[in-house]
Structure 1
Amino acid sequence: MSASRLRASGRPGPSRAGTSGRPRLGGLALASAATTTLVVVAAALAATVPTASAAPVLPPGPALSLTADSSFWGANGRVDDIVSNGTKAWIAGGFDYVGPNTGRAVTVDSSSGATVPSSNIVDGTVNASAPDGKGGYYLAGDFSRVSDLRRQGLVHIKPDATVDRSWPASAVTTTVTVGGVAKSQTGSVTSIAVAGDRLIIGGDFDAVNGVPSSRLAAIGLDGNVISTWRASANAPVNAVAVAGDSVYVGGSFTNLNGAGRGHLSRLRLLDGATDPTFTATTNGAVYALDVRAGATRAQDRVKLGGDFTAVTGSGVTSTRTRIASVDGNGAITSWAPSANGPVRAVTTDTATGTTFVGGTFSQLNGQNRTQVGAYDAAGALTGFNAALAGCQAPHTLKSTYTLPPCTVEVQALQVAAGTVFVGGVFTTSQGSLRHDAASYSVATGQLTSWLPMPGARVRTFTNLGSTTVMGGDFVSAGGQYRRGVAKIDLATGTLDPTFRADADNMVLDLELTADRTKLYLGGTFKSVNGVTRQRLAAVDANTGALVTGFAPKVNKDVYTIAVRQGYVYLGGQFTAIGAVTRQHAARISALNGSVDTTWTADTNGPTGTTYHEGMVLSLAVAPDNSRVFLAGPFKTVNGVALPDGIVALSGATGAVLPRQLGGVQSCGTYHWVVALKLSDDGQRLYGGDVCPDWIYQWDAVNLSQTKANGLNWDTACNGGMQGALEVNGTFYYGTHGGTKGSGGYCWQSPSNTTEIAQQRFFAFRAGDGALTDYAPQFDSPMGVWSFAAIPQGLLVGGDFTVAGDRNTVAQGLTLFRGTP
């Protein structure tokens, strides 16, 4: 178990690894929801953290590939724990989807939604797309690579679905200042439009292929920047649309081409000059434009969505709440719908005149419409109701124990051949599963059978006829809905469809019984498969069906569990199980969930959300059930003072043993251990402290009898312990913290005098704590949370979307092949 929180150092604190010595091959990880900043004592840090020196040559690590197997399916959120029986692996965490790693843009069948195989793996967000008019298309966003090619923010895909390697406009950049030094990085392109011989792009960037371009640029279809087209904005451009010889732009800007223009304007397609005849402005950001060209510019019809409450045009200001329409002179039309939240997408079906709008609103014209709705040609709200519901968001530094807050939203709309395609963040529509993408008949408003199943937010569609390009935040498409728990076939790396145990909130810890028939779940959930289960449940390991006789009622969250000899040990925030008082730790019957009243280990500690009166964050139980180890911010156990937030207990009674473990470092008022991992043979106990992120290996048998504090070795990293696993003489350590070269490091044990630059994943020699040279990379600041050794290699779970190196897209779960 672990706790993670922000500290005065500005980096996230340590996290939890799972219980050990249990019948499992994997570890697990977890972090505290608390974000209370601890006061770091400079003197304490100076006393515990050694001075860095030149890095030595590291000893070789395990015989594992440094490249992640991208064919292995992943999850769309954090994987906290992994257990395995050698042929299957069960994963748990904060996800609701498991699927193949397709990258953030895919082509799908326009009728069925089936993914069309492609090698174009985009590594970053895709914000916009557009057809090239020749069967290919453009993608724009915040990405830096497409498969093996460097493509910053913009790429052209040819009609044969391959990347256009000859197209030079592939470096959309912006300059940021880091530590007083100017640094170029990938810019953000949020909107694109093709017009004749050029592509107009808008976003938040300051150069394209080295040519200064402030948030707007024109690129020839040959990929070269058109240097004679000059337009600039003082803030991001969110939308561009072309009609005839004009370019309409909307965004967050208040100045365009050096003159005041409030969020909306029109430019000449020829050279980017501002058209003074278009006068419309808004008092808030414009996010979406839908432009229909008229016979003349004055007859253009411009519909816009955003977060404004008034529009000014032709000298007249009128109330328009987040949706409006103006003509080609900028005069406000009588079309006056309203939304109670921001509008992010607008599109009109030319055949029927129906206009669809999407965003984060819940009402249109005062009537309930969840994030998407439609108006007829006359401007009346139609009966179309997508009834979008359900939501899943990725974890950040907060909400570690629970699913993060999430809002249903629509960001992408497109009409093609009588069908409207809707993309955003949602789980169901009209009562049917439609994960983040759905389509409807324009005529009837009814849901179609189209089911592309992306894993996260959809931001753009481009219809190419029989196929549709879909892009966004997702890393996977064509997967399956699984919430909190899933089962993976290790031979194929794909989801095992026979198992389903969906939980309504996070599953934080898994335990597989010795006979591999049952799987125990602990977490913050209240139901499994729609049946009430309060934070603890048991399911059939093959099918996921609930074990009906096991239904204990735990009154607060369970963070850590272990199953031994007919008992389930649990730790967390709880203070009661059913009618029996148990303060943060308990032992219950694995058969019926009744509390074992002969075993008591009540913990107490400081009050407040950081400490929760001395909660238990992690536990480990000896294979023979003789000892139980607890860790957390407690100060006493059964009334006995424990200064280091770690305790060794009798497995029979829960009594505090006469010999204990210690040596826990501190950089604040309190210090404690947040994560524990026991070796499978029960000989060595690993732990990680809350601050300053030291790693400990204790003698779990002799405790402090033969060694000071019972320590075999200790060392430090710049991120706390989350995932942990010992196998074949190697100790794997997963963490959050800095990136290699930017604050990511561990100290070289046993001397602890040399800082070694690595990030989020470390492999130590278990015997002496020496850091090895095996160091795959992971992209997320919240990093690695779980491990499992399997016949194919090492499974790694966490928050990442890129694993092994910067070029391999893999979200939530990945495999490194070889011998761990």
Structure 2
Amino acid sequence: MPTPSAAAFARAGTVALALALASATLTTAQAQSPEPGFQPGSASAASTPNGRTKSFHAPPAYSIATDGDITDLLRREGKLYVRGTFSKIGPFTGSGMPIDPATGARVVAPAIDGQISVSVADGAGGWYVAGDFETIDGHRYRGLAHIGADGLADPAFAPKVGGLVSALALDGDTLYAGGLFDEVNGKARTNLAAVSTATGELTAFVSSRPSRVTELLHADARLYVGTEKDLVAVDPATGARDAGFTAPVSGPIRALATVGPHLYVGGRGLVDLDTDTGVANASFQPTTTAFGKLDGRVHALLAVGGHLIAGGDFRRLGGLDGPLVALDPQDGSGDPGFAPAIGSTRRGAADSGVFDLATLGSDLWVAGLFTSAGGAPAQNLAAVDPLTGARNAKSLASLDGQVNTVEASGDGVYVGGQFFMAGWVPARGMAALDGDTLLPIAGFGGHRVSPRGSMVDGQRAIFIAETNFHGYDEDALEYGYRLYTPTRSKVRAVNPTTGAVIKRLGIDKVRNLTGIATLGDRYYVAQRLDNDVRFPRNRVTAYSQKTGRVVGGFMLPLRGYIAEMSSADGHLLFAGSFRRVRANGQRAHLALLKVRPRSGGVRQGFDPQTNGPIYDISRQGDDLYVAGIFDDAGYQNTPMKGLAKYTLVDGYPDLRKGWRAPAHRLSHHVGVEALGDVVHVTGGWAVQFLSEDDARPISDVFDGYDRQVSLAVREPDGIAYAGQVYLPLAGDSFYRLSYVSRTAS
């Protein structure tokens, strides 16, 4: 496995792979190395770098994940539209999954919430898997688990490792684990330990290694231990070092395998050592470069049909171009008849190449970080002919990250790594999901648009505008920030079927755009006209949804700032803070305007009477929910701190059941969304979900995922939502994963 740059914080590393000769007894090592910079115990860190609590609770079993943030959701005509900063979107798998070896199809199993570095067959159709993770299907596991042939984790086997596990070796009922850790089950163990496969408890084996263990191999009554610095042999029962074995290699060890008396060692080079003494076989010369000096690394070894298959990120080995070659196991010369044509856009780079190999039947499974195999596209996993390298036909889903390990067991195959999506499609910041399955609709050509602002439904298009908050923010003013930096924004009209931009309906440049809404056959765009700190003038322009031409407009009668714009009941709604003058000449303020769309006249009698600005609104039936910075609402100054429910017709507070939200911290970043029986609130709220009926807090709306939810929209049979969680994925200890899921009503 490669050792990516420290800046990427990738932990995928060495994978030592199986050797399988029909004519010889074969033993293989299974290992994975993290990236330098990973510290023991970091898998159980309590908070992210920005101070947020770190969660290891993976998304729901069936979710659609992205490789960036999700900033908006829109439900339209049986489809769910997703917008954000992502470039890929696809079904969430977690970092490990069984696959059907006949077809390559994913076998649905509970998701693992972190990185899988290594796996080893359990001898009964299942696997032991290890890496950097905390939970599987909501149950606590720390870095090491047993996955049965059915894909389910064994609850009876749950050792607690205080760090990363990157190497495994199995001998009967003893499982050896190596990596970068300082304790197992609360007892001191430095980078190497042995546990019982029956109970997960430590055995009497004790053998500390001062540097990270990258490879483990049990063979010939010895346990070979490869580290970042050396290779040693120890007694598998006690852990005592075997003084009779001295390996003439140094530097990171990346692969180990034995065939009879031969111990093949991969790293920055490839050598054949005597299994008893460690003496090198001088006749085995796949390269004239000394061990430790090769221009890449050997990460994977496998013997098939009289050949020794070597994979890695090297450029050349045995006289053949890498990263996957077939060698003569006696002298190390290459066989040009084996031509798998594994390709990568970063050939020879430390973060690309072949990291693991396995065989099952007539398939040689190749795992790593690459883009093609056999001259055809392949995303990090492929099956080829073990003798010729020709591509074998499989329906393999594209994986979004590198595959660290592939392991055959019984009639199944397991893959694990830094990926978390299978069958992803390119998205460019916008995607359409099937309303029934939530699967991304292939061919929807979303275009890169600003992730900020609004996405609104129209008659012929979805309109996307980079609306900017131009409201008064005392906190920003206090810290010396400019409140009203002039902006130029675009309005994009997107075809809801194809994702193509409809140029005639869009607008290339809008100065100080503050809001957008659709009503009837028009869409309306609001602009701030000057930089009055608190009460600027505003223009609203109407455009045809058929031609994109200007068909009307008006100056908003009251000066003020627009924080949110919408439509309801045949009117336009403007939320923010606006100044008016009463009949007696006294100045007053309005936080929500109901405006006639043709004339721009403010609807008299509609007056929510909040004592502060409104920043978000959500309509549901005849009710209107508003969120902002205020303490009371209505003519009776009813206490409603930051959240209120009004009647849509006249703007009166709904007091029929004492609808009053619980106390919370007021914020300029509040949001509200009515979702049927519940109301979702964001920004300063300890409780995110309230009863639509009486505002009482409601917990467990999303089966335990409430705290992850950032966006939600109502659907005919439930609620679709976007969530966010920090997990050790994609080579990052604190990867911010965004996903879409749903709950039934």
Instruction: Give the TM-score of the pair, scaled to structure 2.
Output: 0.63
1:733 aligned onto 2:681: yes
Pair 696,627 (structure 1): closer, same or farther in 2 beyond 3 Å: same
Q: Given that residues 93 and 422 in structure 2 are in contact (C-alpha distance below 8 angstroms), is that contact kept between their aligned partners in structure 1? A: yes
Structure 2 counterpart SS, 1:503 = coil
- Whether contact under 8 Å (2:168, 2:177) holds in the other structure is yes
Q: 2:576 and 2:371 mapped to 1: Cα distance?
A: 38
Listed one character per residue, the Cα deviations across residues 310-363 of structure 1 (whole Å, up to 9, x for unaligned) are xxxxxxxxxxxxx234554487984459999996943445543342114xxxx8
For the Cα contact (< 8 Å) 1:780–1:799, is it kept in 2?
Answer: no
Which whole-Å CA distance do the structure 1 matches of 2:421 and 2:189 have between them? 33
Letter in 2 for 1:267: V
Among candidates 300, 313, 316, match of residue 346 of structure 1: 300
Q: What is aligned with 1:797?
A: 722
Q: Is 2:238 the partner of 1:271?
A: yes
Alignment of 1:486-501 (within 5 A): 486-490=431-435, 492-495=436-439, 497=441, 500-501=444-445
**Corresponding position of 2:174:** 198
Aligned to 2:9: none
Instruction: Please point out which of 70, 74, 86 is paired with 1:83.
Output: 74
**Are 2:258 and 1:293 aligned?**
yes
Maintained 8 Å contact 1:242/1:291: no
| 1:662-690 residue CA offsets vs partner (Å, 9 max, x unmatched) | 866xxxxxxx99x633325697463468x
**Which residue of the partner structure matches residue 464 of structure 1?**
409
> What corresponds to 2:472 in structure 1?
none
Q: By how many angstroms is 1:131 displaced?
A: 0.9
Q: Is 2:642–2:666's contact at 8 Å kept on the other side of the alignment?
A: no
Distance 1:210 1:373, change over 3 A: same
Alpha-carbon distance change, 380 to 88 in structure 1, aligned in 2, over 3 angstroms: same
Q: Distance in 2 between matches of 1:434 and 1:630?
A: 52
Question: Of residues 718, 721, 740 in structure 2, which corresponds to 1:813?
Answer: 740
User: Contact conserved, 1:562 with 1:621, CA < 8 A, in 2?
Assistant: yes
Which residue of structure 2 aligns with residue 628 of structure 1? 574
Q: Is the 8 A contact 1:81 1:91 kept in 2?
A: yes
Q: Which amino acid aligns with 1:301?
A: Y
- Computing the radius of gyration from Cα coordinates, the structure with the larger value is 2
Deviates more, 1:125-134 or 1:445-454: 445-454
> What's the CA shift string for 1:61-80, capped at 9, x where partnerless?
xxxxxx99755656565443
1:452 aligned partner: 397
Q: CA deviation at 1:226?
A: 5.4
Question: Is the 8 Å Cα contact of residues 341 and 373 (structure 2) preserved in structure 1?
Answer: no
Which residue pairs with 2:463 in the alignment?
520
**Aligned-partner Cα distance in 2 for 1:303–1:106:** 27
Equivalent position amino acid for 1:89 in 2: L
Query: Partner letter of residue 127 of structure 2?
Result: Y
Q: Deviations over 1:593-616 (max 9, x none)?
A: 567895689xxxxxxxxxxxx9x9
| Residue 302 of structure 1: how far off its partner (Å) | 0.9
The answer for the alignment partner of 2:19 in structure 1 is none
For 2:324, the equivalent position in structure 1 comes to: 374
Aligned-pair CA distance for 1:547 = 3.7
* Unaligned runs of at least 5 residues, structure 2: 1-47, 52-57, 468-488, 531-536, 578-588, 630-640, 728-736
Aligned pairs (5 A) from 1:97-496: 99-100=90-91, 102-117=93-108, 119-147=109-137, 150-159=140-149, 163-164=153-154, 168-174=156-162, 187-195=163-171, 198-223=174-199, 225=201, 227-234=203-210, 236-251=212-227, 262=229, 265-276=232-243, 277-278=245-246, 286=252, 289-293=254-258, 295-296=260-261, 300-304=263-267, 323-326=268-271, 328=273, 329=278, 334-335=288-289, 345-350=299-304, 351-358=306-313, 364=315, 373-375=323-325, 377=327, 378=332, 386-388=342-344, 409=352, 412-416=355-359, 417=362, 419-424=364-369, 434-440=378-384, 448-450=392-394, 451-454=396-399, 456-464=401-409, 466-475=411-420, 477=422, 484-490=429-435, 492-495=436-439
1:220 is displaced (CA, Å) by 4.0
Residue pair 1:697, 1:713 contacting (<8 A) in 2 also: yes
User: What's the offset of the Cα at 1:230?
Assistant: 0.6
CA distance in 1, matches of 2:602, 2:372: 51
Tell me which amino acid in the other structure corresponds to 2:712.
Answer: F
Question: Which residue does 2:474 correspond to in 1?
Answer: none
SS at match of 1:799: strand
SS of match in other structure, 1:679:
strand
CA distance in 2, matches of 1:427, 1:585: 50
Letter in 1 for 2:743: F
Matching residue of 1:604: none
CA contact (8 A) 1:73 1:101 kept: yes
Cα pair distance change 1:513/1:335, threshold 3 Å: same
Distance 2:293 2:710 in 1: 41
- Alpha-carbon spacing, 1:763–1:86, altered in 2? closer, same or farther (3 Å): farther
CA contact (8 A) 1:412 1:461 kept: no
Separation of aligned partners in 2, 1:110 and 1:218: 31
CA distance in 1, matches of 2:68, 2:541: 30
- The superposition leaves residues 267-314 of structure 1 with CA deviations (integer Å, 9 ceiling, x where unpaired) of 33343233454356756xx4x621132654xx522112xxxxxxxxxx
Q: Which amino acid is the alignment partner of residue 278 of structure 1?
A: T
Q: Out of 709, 718, 743, which is 1:784 matched to?
A: 709
CA contact (8 A) 2:95 2:418 kept: yes
Counterpart contact for 2:672–2:679, Cα < 8 Å: yes
Alignment match, 1:771: 697
**Pairing 1:753-772 to 2, within 5 Å after superposition:** 762-765=688-691, 770-772=696-698
Cα separation, partners in 2 of 1:437 and 1:686, compared to 1, 3 Å: farther
* Deviation readout 1:374-432 (Å, 9 max, x if unpaired): 35535789986544469xxxxxxxxxxxxxxxx975684214356342244x7777896
Query: Given residue 367 of structure 2, which amino acid in structure 1 is its aligned partner?
Result: V
Map 1:684-695 onto structure 2 (within 5 A): 684=624, 686-687=626-627, 695=642
Q: Give SS of 2:308's match.
A: coil
Contact residue 64 and residue 92 of structure 2 kept, 8 A: yes
Q: 239-248 or 438-447, which moves further after superposition?
A: 438-447
Decide whether aligned partners of structure 1 residues 193 and 780 sit closer, same or farther in structure 2, where only a CA change above 3 A counts: farther
Deviation at 1:725, TM superposition (A): 0.9
Letter in 2 for 1:414: L
- Cα RMSD after superposing both structures: 5.8
Distance 1:653 1:479, change over 3 A: same
- Report the CA distance between 1:766 and its aligned residue: 5.7
% identical aligned pairs: 18
Does the alignment pair 1:677 with 2:617? yes
Cα distance in 2 for partners of 1:388, 1:584 equals 53
Q: Which has the higher contact order (CA 8 A, sep 6+)?
A: 1
- Aligned twin of 1:553: 508
Instruction: Answer whether contact 1:140 1:154 (CA < 8 A) is retained.
Output: yes
CA distance in 2, matches of 1:90, 1:234: 52
Could you tell me which runs of 5 or more consecutive residues in structure 1 were left unpaired when the two chains were aligned: 1-34, 39-66, 175-186, 253-261, 305-322, 391-406, 525-533, 576-581, 602-613, 632-643, 665-671, 738-744, 747-757, 803-809
SS of the counterpart of 1:110? coil
For 1:703-714, list aligned pairs within 5 A: none
1:568-587 matches, within 5 Å, as 568=523
Contact 2:628 2:667 (8 Å CA) reproduced? no
Q: How does 1:575-724 map to 2 (within 5 A)?
A: 590-593=545-548, 619-621=565-567, 624-629=570-575, 676-680=616-620, 684=624, 686-687=626-627, 695-697=642-644, 715-716=663-664, 724=672
